[in-house]
Amino acid sequence: MIDELCSAIRNKHSVVLRYKNDRGDRIVEPHIVYEARNGNILVDVYQTSGYSSTGKLPAWRPLLVDGIVALDILPDNFETRTSEGYNPLNKKRYPRIICKV
């Protein structure tokens, strides 16, 4: 799953994914895969549409990579959302980066 996410990130492709216990798919723009201080591997995504338990979209979501049960890379590209809170230089949030836009 990490390889697929990093490929989508390198090429700035959106993905459709199914996350554990979701009732539907999510359309997301993956920006960074990282290891958190507790050892969990996460991906920060900007979710543009699809299933959301909060209903508030678009929005940033940190997702556990192990919680992703299905993923397909879409052909459409996205722009890096730096003006919307994404900062890969934040070492506190991203102590060990695996891949990023």
Nearest one of 13, 2, 17 to 71, comparing CA atoms: 17
Residue 65 CA to residue 31 CA, distance in Å, equals: 13
Q: What residues does each domain of the chain span?
A: 2-100
DSSP collapsed to 3 states, 7-72: HHHHHCEEEEEEECCCCCCEEEEEEEEEECCCCCEEEEEEEEEECCCCCCCCEEEEEEHHHEEEEE
| pTM of the predicted model as reported, rounded to 2 decimal places | 0.94
List pLDDT tens digits, range 1-51.
Answer: 999 999 999 999 999 999 999 999 999 999 999 999 999 999 999 999 999
Residue 83: predicted pLDDT = 74
Rounded Cα distance between 87 and 60, Å, is 12
Q: Answer yes or no: is pLDDT of 84 > 80.
A: no
56-77: average pLDDT = 96
Sign of the torsion angle spanned by Cα atoms 92, 88, 39, 41: positive
CATH number of the domain at 2-100, please? 2.30.30.100
Average pLDDT over residues 81-96: 89
